[in-house]
Structure 1
Amino acid sequence: MAESLEGLSTMLNDLNSVSQRIGLKMNMDKTKIMFNVHVTPMPVVVGSTKLEVVDEYVYLGQIVRLGKSNFDREVNRRIQLGWAAFGKLRHIFSSDIPQNLKTKLYNQCVLPVMTYGTETWSFTAGRMRKLKVAQRAMERAMLGVSLRDKLRNEDIRSRTRITDIAQRISKLKWQWAGHIAQRTDNRWGRKVLEWQPRTGRRSVGRPPTRWSDDLVRHAGSRWMQVAQDRALWHSLGEAYVQQWTCEGL
């Protein structure tokens, strides 16, 4: 990250030079450039390679975009990845093996794909509902039933006994929030949470949902101070998880 093209070009070329000196090589095909609205896009050359300029890319398993919310697209992407993982195991899910084995396989192989890194997402009821709908569809496919069978969601869940995706996501986020708030090592996690963006006029319309909005609604604006009491944070977390789990049922 740099505040100017000159600084960015210098950093990348220094990295490339030092890497080659110790026998490493940058992968220029995987090295991309993104600009925000404060920079006029211009070519960036490392060695003899002109780096590609992109609007978004997948980094550490998640879509990264500048100046725009990427969570709606990331939710859709995770649903696609979840179905891909489910499809690879469909022959097992549709077999006659005991349901408890199918449940264990789903929880270990499909659910982690759909929930990886979700503790860093800003969640709305709509985004969570999309994931829950996808999970319900997978459960019906696992049982060999369709919407025309008009089975209640509770009945389906009582048969599959898989972990509710909203429960898993909200639990991961609450635990991560407490972990970050309780840190005293001055690492980046807490600094990023407390970071205030540049001043200026915000865009027209409803402000985007922030990562901490649902935490503030549940634990108050001083939630980071509340999190210092581990017992209290744990008890609040149970209600927080239950709220997200029951949403939209």
Structure 2
Amino acid sequence: MATIYQYMCIYPKLTSSEYCYYKYPGDILIFLLRILHYLYVDLCWIYDMLEKAIKEMRKGKATGDDDVPGDVLKLLGEGALKTLTKLMNTIYESGEWPKDFTEVTMIALKKKTKATKCSDHRTISLIAHTAKIIAKILKRRIERKIEDVLGEDQFGFRRGKGTRDAIGMMRIIAERTLEIDEELCVCFIDWQKAFDRVNWTKLMQILKETGIDWHERRLISKLYMDQKVRVRLDRGETGSVRIGRGVRQGCCLSPILFNLYSECLTKEALDGLGDFKVGGQIIQTVKYADDLVLMAKEETVLQGMIDRLIEIGRCYGMEMNVEKTKVMKISRQPTPVTIKIDQKQVENVKCFKYLGSLLTDDGRCTCEIKSRIAMAKAAFSKKKNLFTSKLDLNLRKKLVKCYIWSIALYGAETWTLRAVDQKHLESFEMWCWRRMEKISWTDYVRNEEVLIRVSEQRNILHEIRKRKANWIGHVLCRNCLLKEVIEGKIEGRIEMTRRRGRRRKKMLDDLGDRRGYCHLKEKALDRIKWRNCFGRDCGPVILTDY
């Protein structure tokens, strides 16, 4: 039950100009209903929130220190759920967490075979499922306010965004820069143990400035201040120790809290800096959680951005890893870039693995495609006995497409396919079917005969085209930064015209036709027309030599 004090706190909000438009007696009832809704929905955790959070829990997860399986919570009846709701409201009103909820057991997993140091291990946390439910409800209450603060260039742990958007943005920026014969200096920043270096005091201050309610801030603060951790080893468990910084490993609150922390850091550090403009908008960064990319047209501007980021980062408790931080110059004739961090030279690279995808200084996708094919072939060889067994043919084909093609086609939505790349992919497709049927190249069996034996057609290029159409269709229907990068004009030279010679093939050329981008965008706005155009039978993919 809400207190008189809580009513007094919300009364000014409810009687502000936004709410005071009641002119008739009947509107008084609406006004009172709004008060009741705010008291019982915004200030208390209701039964429906708990029920929804439990339904979303995954089955078969390890238990925390309370030894209560998550599957048991799914079987609770109405009476037990009401009791659990009452417990959660008590925690919410008092701000005190039960001891079982703040004590976490960690299990160390080896990163490499002969792991002897602590740095050779990674840990996973065993958190009580009831604590996870509270954290999930708490996340829902603060998520919207945090989303309003995050920039469009943050693609990590956000609804409707993912790695393909971040990779696609980098590829589109590179190809558009090269199209007009410009240059772009890019620095791939690596923070040392970024998630483990978050300053709690600074985090709480940021939450307050963001407008997070005091009740939520108090719960988060107590969750961090009271937490104790012990590590479970083969020989037993260590004693409980307190942690003084970093977001909680395995907690659903950690991603959005870190995103907010990172956003405030970069905004404070890079305010007023940057010289790379697209459509009149300065683009300084592309972020995916702790993976940060800085970009500038001039080397001196990029150095200034890095120096400022180091200075402000230290105020936030962050340190850059000079060995893992790399710099690249995207240009038709790239030259080394001189960037220093604490008087140490940052390594120049021609290609960099960003979010699992290779980015190169020439903006091509050939290296990435070859790398993906090699990884897929290695995965096939490891499970060769399964794929070449006497299992049903259709089952084996499904296994190949599920486990092998998924490796080969990671990030395929963002590829710009030249004729040579398309041939590499089709060769890989035939390699899969030949290995699956144990057909050696010395048998002199034509590709057409192999396709008949496995009852297949050449589908890998169609699959890539469908994936790209699905992704681009969503991008073109939203007002987002990625769409601005696709459409906007890159500022730089006065003419800003593309270089002489044959036009370079672009990412969207696989989907468009001679009527160009505007016609493609028009089709994207009509979902039915888009599906009809890029459905299952999307027509042959024509090999073009670019």
One-letter code aligned to 2:386: I
Under a length normalisation based on structure 1, what TM-score does the superposition of the two structures give? 0.82
One-letter code aligned to 1:192: V
| Structure with the bigger percentage of strand | 2
Classify 1:39/1:98 alpha carbon distance in 2 versus 1 (closer, same or farther; 3 Å): closer
Task: Indicate the percent of aligned positions where both proteins have the same amino acid.
Answer: 26
SS in 2 for 1:178: helix
Tell me if structure 2 keeps the 8 A contact 1:16–1:26: yes
Classify 1:3/1:124 alpha carbon distance in 2 versus 1 (closer, same or farther; 3 Å): closer
Residue in structure 2 matched with residue 43 of structure 1 by the alignment? 338
One-letter code aligned to 2:523: V
SS in 2 for 1:96: coil
Tell me if structure 1 keeps the 8 A contact 2:475–2:483: yes
Query: May I ask how many residue pairs the two structures share in their alignment?
Result: 244
| 2: CA distance, partners of 1:104 / 1:39 | 43
Classify 1:100/1:19 alpha carbon distance in 2 versus 1 (closer, same or farther; 3 Å): farther
Give the C-alpha shift of residue 104 in structure 1.
3.0
More relative contact order, 1 or 2 (CA 8 Å, 6+ apart): 1
| 2: CA distance, partners of 1:143 / 1:36 | 43
Does residue 1:227 correspond to 2:524, yes or no? Answer: yes
Residue in structure 2 matched with residue 8 of structure 1 by the alignment? 302
| 1: CA distance, partners of 2:379 / 2:408 | 9
One-letter code aligned to 2:329: F
Does residue 1:17 correspond to 2:311, yes or no? Answer: yes
Does residue 1:173 correspond to 2:468, yes or no? Answer: yes
One-letter code aligned to 1:30: K
Residue in structure 2 matched with residue 217 of structure 1 by the alignment? 513
One-letter code aligned to 1:51: V
One-letter code aligned to 1:35: K
Give the C-alpha shift of residue 91 in structure 1.
2.9
Does residue 1:195 correspond to 2:488, yes or no? Answer: yes
Whichever of the two has the greater Rg, that structure is 2
Give the C-alpha shift of residue 162 in structure 1.
9.5
The worse-fitting range, judged by mean Cα deviation, of 115-124 and 203-212 is 203-212
| 1: CA distance, partners of 2:401 / 2:297 | 43
Residue in structure 2 matched with residue 62 of structure 1 by the alignment? 357
Give the C-alpha shift of residue 175 in structure 1.
0.8
Residue in structure 1 matched with residue 143 of structure 2 by the alignment? none
CA deviation map 1:1-23 (0-9, x unaligned) = 12333321232233333434444
Residue in structure 2 matched with residue 77 of structure 1 by the alignment? 371
Give the C-alpha shift of residue 233 in structure 1.
0.6
| 1: CA distance, partners of 2:452 / 2:321 | 46
Tell me if structure 2 keeps the 8 A contact 1:121–1:211: yes
One-letter code aligned to 1:215: L
* Structure 2 residues not aligned, in runs of 5+: 1-294
Classify 1:36/1:137 alpha carbon distance in 2 versus 1 (closer, same or farther; 3 Å): closer
Give the C-alpha shift of residue 152 in structure 1.
4.7
One-letter code aligned to 1:107: K
The worse-fitting range, judged by mean Cα deviation, of 214-223 and 163-172 is 214-223
SS in 2 for 1:145: coil
| 2: CA distance, partners of 1:232 / 1:85 | 38
| 1: CA distance, partners of 2:392 / 2:536 | 33
Classify 1:40/1:153 alpha carbon distance in 2 versus 1 (closer, same or farther; 3 Å): closer
Tell me if structure 2 keeps the 8 A contact 1:118–1:172: yes
CA deviation map 1:18-49 (0-9, x unaligned) = 43444433232221112245997452111243
Tell me if structure 2 keeps the 8 A contact 1:182–1:227: yes
The worse-fitting range, judged by mean Cα deviation, of 135-144 and 100-109 is 100-109
SS in 2 for 1:189: helix
2:538 to 230, 235, 241: 241
1:91 to 382, 385, 400: 385
- C-alpha RMSD over aligned residues: 3.1
Map 1:140-151 onto structure 2 (within 5 A): 140-147=434-441, 148-150=443-445
Tell me if structure 2 keeps the 8 A contact 1:57–1:63: yes
